[in-house]
A and B are shown apart, each in its own frame.
Chain A
Amino acid sequence: MTGLAEMLLLAAPGLPLLLTLPGPGLGLRWRLPLALLPAAAVLFLPAGLQVALPWMLLGGSGLGLDAATRGWLAAAVLFWALLIRAMKFHRSRRATTLALLALAGQLGAILSVEAAGFLCFSSLMGYAFCGLLAGAPGGRRRHAARTGLALLVFADVLLFEALLLSSLEGTLATARTAAPSNLYLVLAVLGFGLRAAFWPFHRWLLEAGGGRPSTWPLLGWALPVTTGVLGLVRWLPPTESSAPLPALLLLLSAAGALAGARRSLPAAAGLLALGAGLGLLYPAWWLAWGQGFALAGIAAGAAWLLAGGLRAAPAEGRRGPSPAEAAAARFMRFGETTLPRWRNRVLARLAALVPRAGWRRLPERLEAPLRRWTLSATLFVALAVLLALLARFSGPD
């Protein structure tokens, strides 16, 4: 029974990964439902189950199930069951593959018992989600995909640095450290805040949700927001001491989201940021109730979204590029056109200083016979023979 349970635990993220490979006999329609089955079965396994993967990553990783994980897993299974039915990923092989990768990523992140594994799986989920957006119809969603990808990369870098600090200060087991520095806390909060599309980095999620079909907002809520909040819950707070600085960041984000647009997807995420920020100020409360609060918030947000109570698209029409995008475009133009022009000008001036003379054609004339390979090979062998002779006759008498 234990063996079967462990296999189910491994199959939860493993089967979706396997099903991304092309294979005969299994149509696209059945791949996602099949991929979800092990995760659904894992819900009924006893808590405390754990599978160690000692050869993986940085000195070992693993998957496990406890009471809190079961709640997150149940939410994920429910979300995916709804999404598979509503979004019809099977209409496209690319969408099916990306959905399978996103599913594997999210399930792996939920079941991971240590931070490096969580980072791996959640990154996979994030990139796959951006891929789904990029392949979706509509210029707005493709724009959202590019923005989301840039933010995801930035978040990954921040979380990587946080993980390094955690490893140095404490343990990778849950990225909780004995004496966390403010830097670690700020990096972790920023990283997960970016991933969860907290204000002011929320716009791309709104863009992803607009237009048809209307289940795109649920996909955004189920994947990046849920996994980002799960990261906050898992990684923070590290100890029972309050952490005012990162708490302030979260509270500011919540205030901005709630003030900017009530009854919208970012506002709902802002409430979760509010809870996390309060949790950093009152860690005893967060340690006791944080998981429940976050799960309840995720479930409530999803229900409200499905009921049509949350606005999940930008209110105004399409705008031009953001200041960051305009700056990036200017930087690229500078590097692709202006810099080479300056470089060529400098090189031309330098070349003008060197007089053209017959001696410059000498290397070419010397090179011509070397290009005949038989001569080159012969010279090489002759060099080897000479060295051997030197070695033979330069030894001690």
Chain B
Amino acid sequence: MSRETALPLLILGSSLLPGLLIFFLAEKRVVLRTLLNMTGALVKLVLVGVMLAGVLAGGQYETRLPLLPGGLELVLRADPLSLLFVTLSTGLWLVTTLYAIGYLENSPHRSRFFGFFSLCVTATVGLAMSGNLITFVLFYELLTLATYPLVVHRGTEVARLAGRKYLAYTLAGGAALLLATVWLYALAGTLEFTEQGFAAGLPERHRPALVAIFALMIAGLGVKAALVPFHGWLPQAMVAPAPVSALLHAVAVVKAGAFGIVRVVYDVFGIDFATSLGVTLPLALLASATILYGSLRALFQDDLKRRLAFSTVSQVSYIALGAAVVGPAATVGGLVHLVHQGVQKITLFFCAGNLAETLGIHRVSEMNGVGRRMPWTMAAFTLAAFGMIGAPPLAGFISKWYLGLGALEAEQGWVMLVLAGSSLLNAAYFLPIVHAAWFRPPPARWPDERRFGRLETAWALLLPPLVTALLTLLLGLLAAAPFSPLEWTWFIVEREYAR
């Protein structure tokens, strides 16, 4: 087995192996568990860096393993699009692991938690590196199975109900996706992702079937991507601990769905063929409706995590919108938002977790004056919130810029109205939080305050949001720098639109 073949497997193994080992550790083996977690995360980061350097130098990394009769293989391939998602997942997994170690200190069932945590990232990275649709579906379902125990981790009745809802939604979505995959294989005879879409060469008589397949796929992927009306599981899943919410919203689950939509539009159908089928406009409309609906629902939530959950429902649809609006700039906007939304949203969830753990704050109405008690956490929250609104020079501004530019280039000016409306709604539900935190007087006592010496909270809880908030600023400020996510997405898009 050559290095080019082994590296994708090694990247998977760097989280799979520690995860499996952690399952069998006793609860009191804190040091060993932390060591396994952090080593796995760091090793994965290094391996992804090696792969990135190799791809930039023109190398090709691919692993093929026989999977099913009929020539269907398990294919792991590192192309520029997969590397974008792999790098995001790997980087954010590292900070989330550190955060989770601090968050779950002295909590029960940590070995179980971190075991499934690692399996979740394994499934996400496998999904990102999928070279064909069957591999994608396999890891998509493994992701569902790996995340369910995290959602129900607390073991309460509310958590179990949320987990049941999560499982019902995601397994139904997976079933729809599998059905569409099998149907497409029957028509096309292959499931390999290609740059112009492998379904594009099918005869004209299959067009009705292809439209139905596209709809099924979007429905199946739309569950994890939280497209309306398949979003119902996401706000319920907020009962999970903050690291899980951060993982679900920023790193793994919703991104997997959105990433899948991008793959389907570009590498299964091809953007030109999808446009000729007439499916891109309905997708754009669905994404736009989700953007506005999610923002409206967020406006009326007092529970902080539910407000952030509905915000995620809205923001992830930017990625689907970028994929559906035909044109390089819109695609860039959608793809770069994959990264920017992940970094910003994870910051917000880290901060929400800090507020809950340190002061017992779970509701927006309890956040008066919290900026004085936890200034660094709220500074990170403020930066990320402004980023979500799209204020320059933060990361969200860059995404919205390219989405808007792409909409104008594609003569879909109505998308600008959606973006403008969404920005106004984002401001409406984030700015009151910022205002209350910094400018309202604090209460006489907090709901459930814990002290952490001279620091406002535990350092393992404070450092990750500060790092990701700084990234929010740098990703926007230095967007035109070499090797920035924006430059990388241009590299992806130029290959996609090359004829």
Asked if B152 CB lies within 8 Å of chain A CBs, one says yes
B69 near A394 with CB under 8 A, answer yes
When distances are taken between beta carbons in the complex, the residues of chain B under 8 Å from A94 are: 438
* Number of chain B residues whose Cβ lies closer than 8 Å to a Cβ of chain A: 55
When distances are taken between beta carbons in the complex, the residues of chain B under 8 Å from A54 are: 480
B119 near A160 with CB under 8 A, answer no
A168 near B300 with CB under 8 A, answer no
Mask of A56-81 contacts with B, CB within 8 angstroms, 1/0: 11111000000000000000000000
Asked if A346 CB lies within 8 Å of chain B CBs, one says no
Mask of B420-439 contacts with A, CB within 8 angstroms, 1/0: 10011001000100010011
Asked if A339 CB lies within 8 Å of chain B CBs, one says yes
Minimum distance in angstroms from B237 CB to a CB of chain A? 16
Q: Which residue of A lies closest to B420 (CB)?
A: A157
Bound state CA distance, A56 and B476, in angstroms? 8
Mask of A142-169 contacts with B, CB within 8 angstroms, 1/0: 1001100100011011001100110110
Asked if B173 CB lies within 8 Å of chain A CBs, one says no
Q: Which residue of B lies closest to A149 (CB)?
A: B431
Bound state CA distance, A263 and B356, in angstroms? 52
Bound state CA distance, A60 and B482, in angstroms? 12
Asked if B463 CB lies within 8 Å of chain A CBs, one says no
When distances are taken between beta carbons in the complex, the residues of chain B under 8 Å from A57 are: 392-393, 398, 476-477, 479-480
When distances are taken between beta carbons in the complex, the residues of chain B under 8 Å from A316 are: none
Q: Which residue of B lies closest to A372 (CB)?
A: B112
B392 near A116 with CB under 8 A, answer yes
Point out which of A335, A336, A377 has the most chain B C-beta atoms below 10 A from its C-beta.
A377
Asked if A380 CB lies within 8 Å of chain B CBs, one says yes
Bound state CA distance, A166 and B69, in angstroms? 56
- A123-B391, A154-B424, A380-B145 known; A371-B438 Cβ under 8 A: no
- A332-B299, A373-B112, A377-B115 known; A395-B480 Cβ under 8 A: no
Of residues 470 through 486 on chain B, the ones whose CB sits less than 8 Å from some CB of chain A are: 476-482, 484
- A134-B439, A380-B119, A394-B69 known; A59-B299 Cβ under 8 A: no
Minimum distance in angstroms from A38 CB to a CB of chain B? 20
Mask of B287-320 contacts with A, CB within 8 angstroms, 1/0: 0000000001001101000000000000000000
When distances are taken between beta carbons in the complex, the residues of chain B under 8 Å from A55 are: 478, 480-482, 484
- A154-B424, A394-B66 known; A164-B438 Cβ under 8 A: no
Asked if A256 CB lies within 8 Å of chain B CBs, one says no
When distances are taken between beta carbons in the complex, the residues of chain B under 8 Å from A56 are: 393, 477-480
Asked if B390 CB lies within 8 Å of chain A CBs, one says yes
When distances are taken between beta carbons in the complex, the residues of chain A under 8 Å from B431 are: 149, 153
- A335-B300, A373-B115 known; A367-B480 Cβ under 8 A: no
Asked if A127 CB lies within 8 Å of chain B CBs, one says yes
Partner of A168, one of B296, B400, B408: B408
Of residues 103 through 155 on chain B, the ones whose CB sits less than 8 Å from some CB of chain A are: 109, 111-112, 115, 119, 138, 145-146, 149, 152, 155
Asked if B23 CB lies within 8 Å of chain A CBs, one says yes
When distances are taken between beta carbons in the complex, the residues of chain B under 8 Å from A59 are: 480
Asked if A237 CB lies within 8 Å of chain B CBs, one says no
Bound state CA distance, A363 and B166, in angstroms? 13
Asked if B409 CB lies within 8 Å of chain A CBs, one says yes
Partner of A335, one of B296, B386, B398: B296
Point out which of B112, B423, B424, B480 has the most chain A C-beta atoms below 10 A from its C-beta.
B480
Mask of B439-458 contacts with A, CB within 8 angstroms, 1/0: 10000000000000000000
Bound state CA distance, A395 and B68, in angstroms? 8
* Number of chain A residues whose Cβ lies closer than 8 Å to a Cβ of chain B: 52
- A58-B479, A161-B420 known; A391-B66 Cβ under 8 A: yes
Mask of A113-144 contacts with B, CB within 8 angstroms, 1/0: 00010011001000100010011000000100
Of residues 360 through 409 on chain B, the ones whose CB sits less than 8 Å from some CB of chain A are: 386, 389-393, 398, 400-401, 404-405, 408-409
Asked if A376 CB lies within 8 Å of chain B CBs, one says yes
When distances are taken between beta carbons in the complex, the residues of chain A under 8 Å from B477 are: 56-57
Asked if A1 CB lies within 8 Å of chain B CBs, one says no
Asked if B67 CB lies within 8 Å of chain A CBs, one says yes
Minimum distance in angstroms from B363 CB to a CB of chain A? 13
Q: Which residue of A lies closest to B299 (CB)?
A: A335
Q: Which residue of A lies closest to B432 (CB)?
A: A146
When distances are taken between beta carbons in the complex, the residues of chain B under 8 Å from A377 are: 20, 23, 115
Interface, chain A (partner B; CB < 8 A) = 54-60, 94, 116, 119-120, 123, 127, 131, 134-135, 142, 145-146, 149, 153-154, 156-157, 160-161, 164-165, 167-168, 332, 335-336, 339-340, 363-364, 367, 371, 373-374, 376-377, 380-381, 387, 390-392, 394-396
Interface, chain B (partner A; CB < 8 A) = 20, 23, 65-69, 74, 109, 111-112, 115, 119, 138, 145-146, 149, 152, 155, 160, 164, 296, 299-300, 302, 386, 389-393, 398, 400-401, 404-405, 408-409, 416, 420, 423-424, 427, 431, 435, 438-439, 476-482, 484
* Interchain Cβ contacts under 8 Å between A and B, 24 examples: A55-B478, A57-B392, A57-B476, A57-B480, A58-B401, A59-B480, A94-B438, A119-B392, A135-B439, A149-B435, A153-B423, A154-B424, A160-B400, A164-B404, A332-B299, A335-B300, A336-B300, A339-B300, A373-B23, A380-B146, A381-B20, A392-B66, A394-B67, A395-B66
Taking A57-B480, A58-B479, A134-B435 as given, write out 19 further A-B residue pairs in contact, using a Cβ cutoff of 8 Å, ordered by the A residue number: A56-B480, A57-B476, A59-B480, A116-B392, A135-B438, A149-B435, A153-B424, A154-B424, A157-B420, A160-B400, A160-B423, A164-B405, A363-B164, A371-B155, A373-B149, A380-B146, A381-B20, A391-B66, A394-B69
